[in-house]
Structure 1
Amino acid sequence: MTGKTDVIVIGGGYAGVMAANRLTQRDDVTVTLINPRSTFVERLRLHQLVGGSDDAVVDYRRILADGVRLLVDTVTRIDAGGRGVTLASGGTVGYDYLIYAVGSGSAHPRVPGVAEFTYPIATLEEAQRLRTVVAAVPATAPVTVVGAGPTGIETAAELAEAGHAVTLVCGGVLGPYLHSRGRRSVARWLAKLGVTVLDGPDTQVTAVTRDAVQLSDGREVPSQVTIWTAGFGVPDLARHSGLSTDSMGRLLTDETLTSVDDVRIVAAGDSAAPSDLPYRMGCQSAVQLGPQAAETVLSRIAGQQPKPVDVGFAGQCLSLGRRAGIFQFAHRNDTAMRLYLGGRPAAKLKEFVVKHTVEQLAYEARKPGSRSLWFKDDQRQQQLRAKCRETRPAAEQTA
């Protein structure tokens, strides 16, 4: 390959920014980051935006390397055969390699009334809209948060601390990721904040109306503002472009994050499904997958074999308002252990993690390739072998 190598990164979230910055290691690579917004969104702070304590945005000039061209637009189709992308503005951009880092957004559940009467919070625009709604209602107005994952817990705590009357509808277990000890700690802090927690198998939402949430056990929860945080989905760009995806629409790749359809397309972040065993959606995996996706591209440019992905986890960090939190320690394979840190120390740790993540992006912009050590999940190879054993009999039966 002669001359410049053009690489497009679709998506300017945590994974996309890390990937774009890492690519600037080579002077003969031109990097274009395509993103629908002109500012970086700190998704880790969207619940703070709703509560009014942060705007959840960062200037790209702070975190993008000088060699990265930011193109504010939306990709509507990938033409793998022609090595180009179509933009919502009507233009097209060609590439030699493409990194697919479109992230995730709100899921679209088939629950009556959700589309009409609830407020999602997965994107900046959704959170800004919700902030306006929350600010306009009286503090005594009943607010219901549906979904007891990290976003639901953090949003409920943030709003309760601000004086709102909040009910958290879990639809099952409070904080499914948490160890039972950590879960009890979260429940205690939510109770201190005045959050009413409805958990258990009978708290599935069956319908939402303008002023209530109906549960599977027949209860009706009054709600003037209903916030939906139950699950995330990914854009359908890959599927719409004829690329192989998993059942959720994440791009199917091998263990080097390379598309199973095209060696010039590499995925990272929430929208990647390596070996059809995707990592947990979130910033912790995104900041690891982004630079490794870039390294796969750089290896191919150099005529070398890319290395398999190596991602591990330290735990899950949640804020419980501005004065408390929890850090749930985990094994490297992303399973919670008994150990956790709670209260004010955990709140300080969460704030440090959020700030450090942005600084990590900025550091990679200044010194691309500086980070090469990640947590390692030693059990992933066992998972891959087990998956191979499961699929082999089915393949033999159809042969």
Structure 2
Amino acid sequence: MTGNTEVVVIGGGYAGVMAANRLTRRDDVTVTLINPRPSFVHRIRLHQLVGGTDEAVLDYREVLAEGAGLVVDTVSRIDAAERRVTLATGGTVGYDYLVYAVGSGSADPGVPGAAEFAHPIATLEDAQRLRPVLDATPAKAAVTVVGAGPTGIETAAELAEQGRRVTLVCGGALGPYLHPRGRRSVAKRLAGLGVTVLDGPDTKVTAVTRDTVRLGGGRELPSAVTVWTAGFGVPDLAARSGLSTDALGRLLTDETLTSVDDERVVAAGDSAAPSNLPLRMSCQAAIPLGARAADTVLARIAGERPAPLNQVFAGQCISLGRRAGIFQFAHRYDVAVGFHIGGHPGARLKELVCSGIVKHIAGEARKPGSYGLHRVSGGAKRRQLLQAEQAEQAKQAGQAKQAGQGKQAEHGKTPATAEQVA
């Protein structure tokens, strides 16, 4: 490709900013980042914003390359055929390549009263709305946190450390990702903070009212403030724009993160579903995916073949208040192992990770192309999963074909006749 290339990045989170920064390594590429907020949200600190120990935002000048332009707006539609996006304010922006990195948020809880009376914290605005609610609530009033993934555990611990009376409703297992040893460590820390942990099959929330949370086993909990951290959802921009998505609305791509519909559209982060086998929602996945998406675009500009996804995981780190945490180590294909670091060393390691994320992104802004963790091998596990998925798809296609032929035989029609009738 000759001349200047226009690349639009939708979404200014971990994946989008990494992609935008990396794309500036070529002088003949103009990068425009479109984001609805003027500040970068350090999302893994949102529970600290709720607890009042961090604001969870940074100026884009700290993390975004000087060569990348920032447009503060929301994309309402992607017109892939015309290669342009429509903004909520009414304007349009054209592109040669598009990086789709719109991130994720809360899903509709589907529980009576939850949307009205529970407080999500998946976005900056959610957390900013919840903080004054907690500030206005007496310290000893009952607070219920629903969802026992990392966000739920971190929020419960953060609030309990401040003297709040917290109940954590798991809706199943505490920390499903964790190894049993890590889970016991987290449970011990939460108990030490005074958090009541309700786990098991009877802890599914069936309804939320202004001052109660009802569980599937018939139990009713008093709750002055209910915080909802369960569920996962992505913006429906891709689906509304006519692009192929998975069941949750993530953009379907191949292993180079290229849309299955259009090679000019590349996805990264929580909103990407490579080969319909999306990675775990995490900044640990988002940042390398952002780098990989940028490399795919740069390869196409150079007339080269993009490299496939090559993701590696180290584990999962969870803060347990300001004085403790856990780093749960894992196989590089993202399955927890028996080893973890807890207590105060776990807290220090968690903080190192949080600050390290910003350093990775800012480092790429200062020196585009310097980040390289997305090239570290995740092993053969993903390839095995892909082969199994392809075999299952072939099996289902064969069964569907046999079923169709059987139906045609029942009606005394040959395949050609049935095809003509259809």
TM bucket by the smaller chain?
over 0.9
Q: What is residue 266 of structure 1 aligned with on the other side?
A: 266
Match of 2:318, SS?
strand
2:377 counterpart letter in structure 1: K
1:58 partnered with 2:53: no
1:386 to 376, 385, 388: 388
Partner Cα separation in structure 1 for residue 303 and residue 399 of structure 2: 38
Match of 1:233, SS?
coil
Match of 1:9, SS?
strand
Partner Cα separation in structure 2 for residue 64 and residue 138 of structure 1: 40
Question: Residue deviations 1:284-304, cap 9 Å, x none?
Answer: 000110010000000000001
Please state how far the C-alpha of 1:231 moved relative to its aligned partner: 1.5
Q: What is residue 72 of structure 1 aligned with on the other side?
A: 72
- TM-score w.r.t. the length of structure 2 is 0.94
1:155-174 residue pairs with structure 2 within 5 A?
155-174=155-174
Q: What is residue 312 of structure 1 aligned with on the other side?
A: 312
1:1-399 residue pairs with structure 2 within 5 A?
1-374=1-374, 375-378=376-379, 379-399=381-401
Partner Cα separation in structure 2 for residue 233 and residue 373 of structure 1: 27
CA contact (8 A) 2:12 2:34 kept: yes
Partner Cα separation in structure 2 for residue 288 and residue 174 of structure 1: 28
2:276 counterpart letter in structure 1: D
Partner Cα separation in structure 1 for residue 148 and residue 299 of structure 2: 41
Match of 2:152, SS?
helix
Question: Residue deviations 1:344-383, cap 9 Å, x none?
Answer: 0000010111011001110000111112233422110000
Match of 1:351, SS?
helix
Which runs of at least 4 in structure 1 moved beyond 6 Å after TM superposition? none
1:246 counterpart letter in structure 2: D
CA contact (8 A) 2:288 2:373 kept: no
Match of 1:346, SS?
helix
2:112 counterpart letter in structure 1: P
CA contact (8 A) 2:360 2:371 kept: no
Partner Cα separation in structure 2 for residue 254 and residue 360 of structure 1: 26
CA contact (8 A) 1:145 1:156 kept: yes
Please state how far the C-alpha of 1:395 moved relative to its aligned partner: 1.3
Please state how far the C-alpha of 1:18 moved relative to its aligned partner: 0.3
The structure with the largest alpha-carbon Rg is 2
Please state how far the C-alpha of 1:398 moved relative to its aligned partner: 3.1
Partner Cα separation in structure 2 for residue 114 and residue 278 of structure 1: 27
Contiguous gaps of at least 5 residues in structure 2: 402-422
Partner Cα separation in structure 2 for residue 250 and residue 270 of structure 1: 8
Match of 1:390, SS?
helix
Partner Cα separation in structure 2 for residue 98 and residue 157 of structure 1: 40
Partner Cα separation in structure 1 for residue 293 and residue 134 of structure 2: 39
CA contact (8 A) 1:268 1:286 kept: yes
1:112 counterpart letter in structure 2: P
1:376 counterpart letter in structure 2: S
Please state how far the C-alpha of 1:55 moved relative to its aligned partner: 0.3
Please state how far the C-alpha of 1:2 moved relative to its aligned partner: 2.7
CA contact (8 A) 1:23 1:298 kept: yes
Contiguous gaps of at least 5 residues in structure 1: none
CA contact (8 A) 1:313 1:376 kept: no
Give the root-mean-square deviation of aligned CA atoms.
0.7
Partner Cα separation in structure 2 for residue 395 and residue 237 of structure 1: 30
Partner Cα separation in structure 1 for residue 241 and residue 216 of structure 2: 38
Partner Cα separation in structure 2 for residue 25 and residue 85 of structure 1: 24
Partner Cα separation in structure 1 for residue 38 and residue 373 of structure 2: 30
CA contact (8 A) 2:313 2:333 kept: yes
2:68 counterpart letter in structure 1: V
Match of 1:232, SS?
coil
Question: Residue deviations 1:15-54, cap 9 Å, x none?
Answer: 0000000001100000000000000000010000000000
- Count of residues paired in the alignment: 399
Please state how far the C-alpha of 1:394 moved relative to its aligned partner: 1.1
Partner Cα separation in structure 2 for residue 372 and residue 229 of structure 1: 32
Match of 2:217, SS?
coil
Partner Cα separation in structure 1 for residue 373 and residue 120 of structure 2: 35
Partner Cα separation in structure 2 for residue 22 and residue 320 of structure 1: 34
- TM-score w.r.t. the length of structure 1 is 0.99
Question: Residue deviations 1:171-214, cap 9 Å, x none?
Answer: 00000000000000000000010100000111000011110000
CA contact (8 A) 2:169 2:203 kept: yes
1:166 counterpart letter in structure 2: V
Please state how far the C-alpha of 1:397 moved relative to its aligned partner: 2.9
